[in-house]
Amino acid sequence: MPSNEKPPAPSRRGMLAGMGTMAAAQALLQDTLGAQTNPAANVADRASALRITKLTAVPADPKCIVKLETNQGITGWGEISNIIPDVAQALANRIFELLDGQNPTRIEHLWQLMYRAHRNLRGGPFMVHTISGIDMALWDIAGKVWNTPVYRLLGGPTRDRIRVYHTDKARKIGTGGPHPFSGTPSEVQALVDRVKATREKMGKDAAIMFDAHCSMPPPLLIQFANAIESYDVLWIEEAAVYGNIEIFKRLKQQIRVPLATGEKDRTIWGVIPYLTENAIDILQPDCGFVGGITQMKKIAALAETFYVPLAPHCTMTTLGMTASLHVAASIPLFLIHEGYPPDDRLPGLAKRTWTLDRDGYVSLPEGPGLGVEVDERQLAELSKTRKFEWPKHIAPDGSVFDY
């Protein structure tokens, strides 16, 4: 070729052939590096061989404790809360038919599989509470597989410690029992005095919450709420029975004290009306009720879009409370977490890896998974007692109260 002539431009076919050669070379290079230097491949390989082999559900009134076992000796623990323990055991055993042989690290897939398995059972408290306990156990396994706390799998901690109640810095008080539709002045004043006495005892540096517990009908609640404004209550909880958003909207229009609810609402579909209708100020999902860690994390994201903080409801044991704390550790809009240390629900069931400080905060859970060590011998002892009884709340005129 003469020196003053340019080389011919490469053809399209030639360019593609060259690119193919380069791709092949890169693939060969990756093969040469080997699986040992490919973290993604290592994670996939390790998890793909993991399989669920056994589920054990142990009724221990008032809870049912779930143990999931795998073919690699990794176990996970969860707590089914606030349904009849014997029924929870039977339902968990049947749900295991969907989980047997599955990879436990496919948590979202397994949640959908359980929730959507039967069109006539989805969404109810028995099904969702049972799924919640199993979901906790799946996350426990996942954290142990990768040797990290669950909150790191949820995106990492957004705080260094978690504010809780009941402590010397924060306390919730109740109604003292069910109440009639419209109170007399003395009945209203008696409720106001409960708030006043607590404020005087705890001082201005403490948070006070009032739990209406669905047992104060709207007319009475409006009378009461307008009389306690000066005591700076952090919230009024469960202002009405869940399921009727119109009642919450009406109360929100007439009450200036912040309203909180959500403990009895399940999944993202149960809580969304409160947010879209601007009916509450604080959302209170319960990890044992809403569908476990998987749903609670999604609910937090929904609430964040409406700038509504979470104040998780929790009446579970150390096991269930720790699962909930992992979510609280990982979300941006968080207010305070319910808890009753030391654990008085199933004493001795589990050892916690978090501590409560004098300021009313607990430390983040430590260790892989949930970071809870269950005492199986103590669980066996606790399971020997059956204590479930149907609550009975009858008004003086013989009618049935909400409570």
Tell me which of 109, 129, 166, 313 is the catalytic residue: 313
CATH classification of the domain holding 229? 3.20.20.120
Could you confirm whether 213 is annotated as catalytic?
Answer: yes
pLDDT per residue over 328-338, tens digit each? 999 999 999 99
pLDDT of amino acid 340? 75
pLDDT of amino acid 315? 93
Query: Is residue 183 very low, low, confident or very high in pLDDT (cuts 50, 70, 90)?
Result: confident
| Alpha carbons 85 and 64: distance in angstroms, whole number | 5
Per the domain annotation, does 67 fall within a domain? yes
Per the domain annotation, does 28 fall within a domain? no
Domain final position from 91, 125, 148: 148
pLDDT of amino acid 43? 52
pLDDT of amino acid 2? 47
pLDDT for residue 38 is more than 80: no
- Mean pLDDT is lowest, of 23-37, 232-246, 342-356, for 23-37
173 and 123 in a common domain: no
pLDDT for residue 16 is more than 90: no
User: pTM to 2 decimals?
Assistant: 0.86
pLDDT per residue over 385-397, tens digit each? 877 888 888 888 8
**Structural domain of 58:** 50-148
pLDDT per residue over 126-155, tens digit each? 999 999 999 999 999 999 999 999 999 999
186 and 122 in a common domain: no
pLDDT per residue over 83-102, tens digit each? 999 999 999 999 999 999 99
Per the domain annotation, does 382 fall within a domain? no
Per the domain annotation, does 85 fall within a domain? yes
pLDDT for residue 277 is more than 50: yes
